[in-house]
Chains A and B, each alone.
Chain A
Amino acid sequence: MQVSLSWLSTHLDLSSYTVPQLSDLLTFAGVEVEGIEERGVATDKVVVAQIQSFEQHPNADKLSVCQVDDGSGTLRQIVCGAKNFKAGDKVPLALPGAVLPGGFTIKEGKLRGVDSMGMMCSGKELGLGEDHSGLLIMAADSPIGTPFNQLNPADVLFDLEITPNRPDLLSHLGLARELAALTGLPLKGERHHASTSTKAKAAGAEQIEIKAAEACPLYTARIIKGVKVGPSPEWLRRRLESIGLRPINSIVDITNYVMMEMGQSLHCFDLDKLNGGIVVRMAAEGEKFLALDGQTYALQTEDLVIADSHRPVAIAGVMGGEETGVTEGTVNVLLESAYFAPSGIRRTSRRLGLSSDSSYRFERGIDPQQVQGGSELATKLILTIAGGTAEDVVQVAGEAPKLVGEVTLDEDRARRLLGTPDMTGDEIHAILEKLGLTKKSASKHESHWGIPSYRLDLQRPVDLVEEVARVIGLDRVPSRQVAVASPVEAADRTYDFAMNLRQSLAARGFFEAQTLRLIADAQLADSLGGGQGVAVKNPLSEDHTTLRPSIVPGLIATAALNIRQGLHRLRFFELGRVFLTLPKGGSREEERLAVLLSGPVSPTSWHGREPQAADIHELVGQIQNLTRTPLEVRPAKEDPANFLLTSELRAGNRVLGWIAQLHPARAREIDARHPVYVAELLLSALRQGSTGPTKFEELPRFPGMTRDVAMEVPADLPHAKVAAFFASQKHPLFVGAEVFDVFADPSGTKIAKDRKSIAWTLTYRSSEKTLETAEVDAAHTAILTALEKSLPAAVRR
């Protein structure tokens, strides 16, 4: 909300506060100052001057030498660069010694050799708007020699963020009231804001009929006849313009002024365009309404309207109607001042997407006690500015709702919540009293408070504690630190496990990515591990429609982005949440680790040629390094459009996740130079293999012996089969076997095309003694014999 310091100053004398002090005062009262703009000049050394004559500067094409009347009796010579003036124009003239906004001081001097005794100013130079195109040309009747700030008073505008709990601050009077409480300064001026002194008369049903008392408990109308609608006087226009409102005509401007002055939103109807009395009712379903903004709105039964006997004439509290608004031709007006319940206004405003300064205030809640005061102030201003005669009674339907009551404060609890055991009851009372609360009674530990009608936010004891906290500030509260011994939660273990994985991958050259969890439909095909993702009902754009069922699409997008930057050695991982739609409805969230790998096995360096590009076994190896248990790769159902070599990664009987090569066609789409491999693992499955402390295994006391075996097998015999054979061998001396060579020759020269040669090292050991060669040979022979029986293998002997 824009707030004018000069406007505020009509309510209390803030001259002893600097702008930064006021800004701090507001900030620490909970009103955030989002901007401060200083307008106009405070100095009276800028005066109205008239340009009598001017001529071309002898030494500069773009400058003029002007003779100017500043009211002193002698003409003053000013060199000027602007072109938008003629002789006789009146302009603001900064005299030597004047300090302009931005701290710029005017001095006498020479400009290109010609004396210049001051500066004629543009609007921008005086802190008035952005117009820097030329001099500010003033009205012809501006009196020469008058200080400029008498005609255009300097002002400071605060842009304030008023939190939703403080609607009472949405007016100059409300803020002044708050500042008065915080500073102790007295409020001055007429107290019209709270007045209910006007004669009121309960309105008969023929004049005002409230058919929706819940949505509108109080409605008042005052009829003023014989007004002359025209432009508002200068002071009113300036007030509205200072806070960014556009003057329209005197009647509309007055209603806006009263709203910004005291927070009461009003509406004026052209009485002659109303048919019969006012009916406050809910709209009929589908009822059409042409509003002041020129738009037609289709209303529903939950919308409150002000109607005459024929049609709605206003959406209550939100916007008036085009057909019954006040225009230049209006003679008789009906001035509405009412209390509308916040929730209804909020609902209608949201549904119609129609918000106004009026709805903003009603939906946050206004002070019901000011409804008649607002009407009274507006009437007074209309009579003064637009003339006419007011009916001497205000017609009132309904009554002001009682929104605040009394609150009892347990002062010990307040002290404990604040952490200020030394705070006295007197101190607490003084704070609440200066905020306008009335002490009804007080005992040793408890006090009982009456709440002012505008403080809708003070309903419970804790609300009063907040007031105390706000006023004393946290500087007054001593800091306290406690540490509590907390048991380790499951979330802690998961976090630590995940951090270890992250660090392990980063240490092996992988970059951690964090991609958006909302992905595009088109990206879903890049998912590994199946799953649909969870579609959002109201996505913001087609790029972010679905909660990802897999992290892989994000990593592929990451690869694409980096390839565009010329990077072809890609090592990425991401650890985070995925979202899966369950077949029977609902959804499941789980943490996964995804890894993407492409390009040379090591970074290029000055030493030697570019290292060879990684193959899928490189990624298998990287994943094996993350788990304690041996990894098993098991070919799985292919998704041939997007991936090749899709396989399940298993450890024991657990499925850890999936691995695949991005289909070369897809890799070409993102301009990948090397094959792209991806894997996705379930964090919970990875963790299962790593729970509990590692169990130490006794080191072998006797040396082992190894024997190598080379064999020829069919080219399509998977390694897993051979490995499974060795794993099943129970010979007491046999410890284990490892593959150390795989050789195939697609040309068929060195070995037949449909055959391959594989070589394994077998280890033998006894836990009781050092083995004899003969014992090992016997064991080895036994295993090789079994091997040839179980597998289509020809052992080379």
Chain B
Amino acid sequence: MLSDLDSLKTAALAALEAAQDESALEAVRVNFLGKKGSVTALSQGMKDVPLEQKKEVGAKLNEVRTAITEGIDTKKLALQAAQDAKAVEGIDITLPGRPGAGVGALHPLTQIRDLAIRTLRRMGFALAEGPEIETEWHCFDALNTPADHPARNEKDTFYLPDGRLLRTHTSSVQVRTMEAAKALPIRIIAPGAAYRRDEIDATHLSVFNQLEGLYVNQDVSLGDLKGTLEYFFREIFGAGTAVRFRPHFFPFTEPSFEIDVKLEAKGKDARWIEIAGCGMVDPAVFAEINRARGDNLFDPETTTGFAFGLGLDRLAMIMHGITDIRHLIDNDVRFLQQFVA
């Protein structure tokens, strides 16, 4: 009996060794440990074993059964491991990834506008908006623009048959906001489209995008304007960026400035690039708003403010080195996919 068990064990382990897959392994289990298996058969013969040998044979039987069971388990793990290894065999990990739904992108103008908005929101500017079809009063009169100013010409500005016009700048949102304001301070930014009757070419669009800013309160100073816009442009172009203010003229601000930032173009010396216009709100604007409101919320004696405006298309072109503004309206995917965030 004992020698039978030993040879059974040897045979079982050999059969396990030979098994190459799960089903062969199962066959080994059935052959030896199954209901009609050889080990099971021997264990049924235990009743015939003499009493004095029972202990020894029983122990042997257990040892053989355990050895076979463990052998099966070990072999199972080994087979599984081999199978797992095989599953990744021949995979060329250097192949490109699957595209999924593919990548899309936000338009570069959207991205730059969002950057500008996020930056200014950190300084407590809220968004404001207004219609793109405007009255002449909101676009010009209220902004201290003389009645015969060339900008009002039909050569330069789009008009509708009913006398309204397509706003030539987002500054009309300043007027809308002040008209509707309930109290001071006003601290807003207004991104939006504006229109000028320009032929479309590499540097001009008839419809373009601006960002307007306005802060009105008691005792707003030129120092506030300077600090705000220096912060803004350094956040946009980098902390060390040089920013300068050149005196200029706009009908609706006084004093007025144009802002240049010093930027390096690829392979060239850094140079000053005109980027925005700004100034202190002209008291004539406050006076006209008060007149329209019929109150004195914008008391020219105590109220001051600053305003600024910049071209987002131009900002995007400068930021990304885009040489032809028409790329911004063509929406060629070869262009757009360069701006995948």
Binding site for B on A (CB under 8 A): 27-30, 32, 163-166, 343, 346-347, 350, 416-420, 460, 462-463, 465-466, 469-470, 473-474, 477-489, 491-492, 494-495, 499, 502-503, 505-518, 534-541, 544, 547, 558, 561-562, 565, 567, 569, 571-572, 576-577, 579, 585-587, 589, 602-603, 605-607
Contacts and interface: CB of A to CB of B under 8 A. Distances in A.
B104 A505 contact: yes
Nearest to A507: B104
B114 A499 contact: yes
Contact of B222 (A27, A419, A558, A576): A419
Contact of A515 (B224, B245, B329): B329
A580 to B, nearest CB: 11
Interface string B271-291: 000000000101100000000
A789 to B, nearest CB: 42
Contacts of A579: 132-133
Nearest to B95: A606
B187 A511 contact: no
10 contacts: A30-B247, A164-B249, A474-B257, A477-B222, A477-B223, A512-B106, A514-B110, A562-B331, A571-B104, A606-B95
B102 A571 contact: yes
Interface string B117-129: 1000011111111
A541 B193 CA distance: 19
Nearest to A555: B331
Contacts of B245: 473-474
Interface of B: 95-96, 98-107, 109-110, 114, 117, 122-129, 131-133, 148, 150, 153-154, 158-162, 166, 185, 187-188, 193, 195, 197-199, 205-207, 215, 217, 219, 221-224, 226-228, 230-231, 244-249, 254-258, 280, 282-283, 304, 328-334, 336-337, 341
Contacts of B128: 489, 491
A584 B341 CA distance: 45
From B100, B205, B228, B249, name the one whose CB has the most chain A CB atoms within 10 angstroms. B249
B204 to A, nearest CB: 11
B282 A481 contact: no
A606 B96 contact: yes
Contact of A536 (B166, B205, B244): B166
Contacts of A343: 148
A573 to B, nearest CB: 8
B106 A605 contact: no
A561 B248 contact: no
Contacts of A547: 132-133, 166
A561 B331 contact: yes
Nearest to B247: A30
A483 B124 contact: yes
A490 B104 CA distance: 28
B90 to A, nearest CB: 15
Contacts of A539: 158
A589 B132 contact: yes
Contacts, number: 230
A540 B126 contact: no
B95 A536 contact: no
Given A484-B215, A506-B104, 20 more contacts: A416-B304, A418-B222, A460-B283, A466-B255, A469-B222, A481-B123, A483-B122, A484-B124, A486-B125, A487-B126, A489-B126, A502-B110, A511-B331, A537-B154, A538-B159, A539-B158, A569-B102, A585-B162, A587-B160, A603-B102
Given A419-B221, A511-B337, A579-B133, A163 B248 contact: yes
Given A534-B133, A534-B160, A606-B96, A516 B223 contact: no
A589 B167 CA distance: 13
Given A480-B224, A488-B126, A514-B328, A27 B159 contact: no
A574 to B, nearest CB: 8
B105 A506 contact: yes
A486 B257 CA distance: 26
A495 B120 CA distance: 14
B106 A506 contact: yes
B161 A602 contact: no
Which secondary structure dominates chain B's binding surface? mixed
A225 B107 CA distance: 72
A165 B249 CA distance: 7
Contacts of B104: 505-512, 571
Given A502-B106, A534-B133, A535-B161, A491 B246 contact: no
A240 B215 CA distance: 48
Nearest to B231: A481
From B100, B110, B328, name the one whose CB has the most chain A CB atoms within 10 angstroms. B110
A350 B153 contact: yes
Nearest to B125: A486
Nearest to B221: A419
Contacts of A486: 124-126, 187
Contacts of B334: 565
Contact of B197 (A469, A502, A538): A538
B207 A605 contact: no
From A466, A486, A514, name the one whose CB has the most chain B CB atoms within 10 angstroms. A514
A257 B231 CA distance: 48
B223 A478 contact: yes
A561 B223 contact: no
B226 A166 contact: no
A518 B207 contact: yes
Given A470-B255, A484-B185, A491-B127, A577 B132 contact: yes
A539 B160 CA distance: 10
Nearest to A503: B106
A562 B100 CA distance: 21
From A474, A486, A585, name the one whose CB has the most chain B CB atoms within 10 angstroms. A474
A495 B189 CA distance: 12
- A-B pairs, top 10 by smallest CB distance, nearest first, are A419-B223, A419-B221, A30-B247, A163-B249, A479-B227, A509-B102, A513-B331, A491-B127, A466-B255, A603-B99
Contact of A512 (B132, B226, B336): B336
B162 to A, nearest CB: 7
A340 to B, nearest CB: 14
Contact of B199 (A508, A540, A577, A607): A540
A551 B87 CA distance: 50
B246 A27 contact: yes
A417 B222 contact: yes
Contacts of B126: 486-489, 491-492
A220 B249 CA distance: 33
A465 B331 contact: no
A417 B304 contact: yes
B87 to A, nearest CB: 17
Nearest to A343: B148
Contacts of B160: 534-537, 587
A462 B283 contact: yes
A594 to B, nearest CB: 12
Contacts of B127: 489, 491-492, 495
Contacts of A569: 102
A470 B248 CA distance: 9
A578 B230 CA distance: 35
A492 B245 CA distance: 30
A349 to B, nearest CB: 10
B197 A491 contact: no
A505 B110 CA distance: 13
B187 to A, nearest CB: 5
A470 to B, nearest CB: 4
Contact of B105 (A418, A512, A589): A512
Given A163-B248, A489-B128, A420 B223 contact: yes
Contacts of A474: 222, 226, 244-245, 257
A492 B117 CA distance: 10
Contacts of B161: 535, 537
B62 to A, nearest CB: 43
B52 to A, nearest CB: 58
A485 B254 contact: no
B294 to A, nearest CB: 23
Contacts of B255: 465-466, 469-470
Nearest to B190: A491
